[in-house]
A = this chain, B = another copy of it.
C-alpha cells in the first residue's frame, strides 16, 4: 500500500476521447501489501478504462471476498461498486446485468473466491455467457486468510509453511473455454503492456470475457528455498510463533516481446516461464485453444495472451430473449397488466 498518493500524477496525460482524465478512473488508496500484484492489475484496469474512454459512472465493479476482492475500492472511484460475499460475485453480477443490460460489468475475484467456494457460480455464469469482464487475480493462495493453498496452486509447489501441494491445479482458463466463455485470456500482473490491451478487449467483448491474471502474493506465496532475506523473515516467524512481519516489496514487472518466453523470478526466488504468442487464427477454435494451452503446459511454460475468442456468442439476454430496454427502466405502464386483466383472470378461475 502507499500512504501518500502524489497529488499530481501523470500530468502529461491529456484527457481521453470522452474528456475524462486518468484520475477520473482512479479509486481509493490501496490497503494491500506493498508490491502486491493485485495493485498492478488495478492500475491496468484504470489505464484500460481510461484508454477506452468509458464513462466511469457507466461501469459497475463487483467482487467477492479476499485481498483481490477488496481491490475494486482502489480503482474507478466514480463507479458504483459491490463487494459481496465470498465466492458469490457471479450471481450478483448476473442479477445486476439482468436489471440493466446497458451498463458495463467488471467483476474482480481471487483464485480462492473463484476456484474454491465460488466454483459452481463461476462455471454457471460462464455457461450462461453473462456479458461481463471477469478478472481473477490469481496468486495460488488465500491471501487474506494468510496463505493457505488455493485450488489453482501448482501441484508440487511448496507453501509458506513448507508443505507440498499434492492436489491437481485447476486451470480456470481451460474451464472457461470448455464451458462456453466468449473471450478467454491469461496474463501476468507485472506485464502492463499485455494486460491493458487484454482488459480493453475483454471490456469490449459482448458475453463472458474471462482473464486469469497471475498475480504474485508477496507475502504468502513463498517457499522455503528462498533468498537469504526471506529466510530471515521465516525464522522470525518460527521463533516468535506469530506471523506478523510483512517486508515491503516492489511489484514485479515483466515486459517481453511476442513469441518469446520470459522467465520471471517471483519474490521467493521461484521461477515461472511466460510465453506470449502472437494472435493466431486458431483462437476462435475451442479445441485448438485448449490444445495450445495444454501444449505449452506440457513444456512447462504458461501461455499468455488471448487464448480463445468467439465474437458471436449469444449472451444471457439473447438466451432469455429479454427486451432491449433495461428492465430497471420499465415503469408501471410497461409492466402492470391492470385491473381489467385481473378481472378476466378471476373469471377464468370460476
Contact = CB atoms under 8 A, between A and B. Distances in A.
Interface in A160-185: 166-168, 170-171, 174-175, 178-180
Contact of A180 (B116, B168, B179): B168
Interface string A115-132: 011111001100111000
Contacts of A118: 120
A106 interface: no
A170 B124 CA distance: 10
Given A119-B119, A120-B119, A178-B175, A127 B170 contact: yes
A208 to B, nearest CB: 11
A174 B167 contact: no
Interface in A284-329: 287, 290-291, 294, 314, 318-319
A151 interface: yes
A167 B120 contact: no
Interface residues of A, number: 28
B167 A127 contact: yes
Contact of A124 (B151, B178, B180): B151
Interface string A272-292: 000000000000000100110
Given A170-B179, A179-B170, A124 B116 contact: yes
Contacts of A123: 119, 170
A201 B19 CA distance: 66
> Which of A167, A175, A291, A314 gathers most chain B CB within 10 Å?
A167
Contacts of A170: 123, 127, 179
Given A119-B123, A178-B175, A128 B167 contact: yes
Interface in A90-141: 116-120, 123-124, 127-129
A285 to B, nearest CB: 11
A287 B166 CA distance: 20
A168 B179 contact: yes
A121 to B, nearest CB: 8
Contacts of A167: 127-128, 180, 319
A288 to B, nearest CB: 11
A116 to B, nearest CB: 7
Contacts of A291: 287
A343 to B, nearest CB: 20
Interface of A: 116-120, 123-124, 127-129, 151, 166-168, 170-171, 174-175, 178-180, 287, 290-291, 294, 314, 318-319
Given A119-B124, A168-B179, A287-B291, 4 more contacts: A119-B123, A120-B120, A167-B180, A174-B178
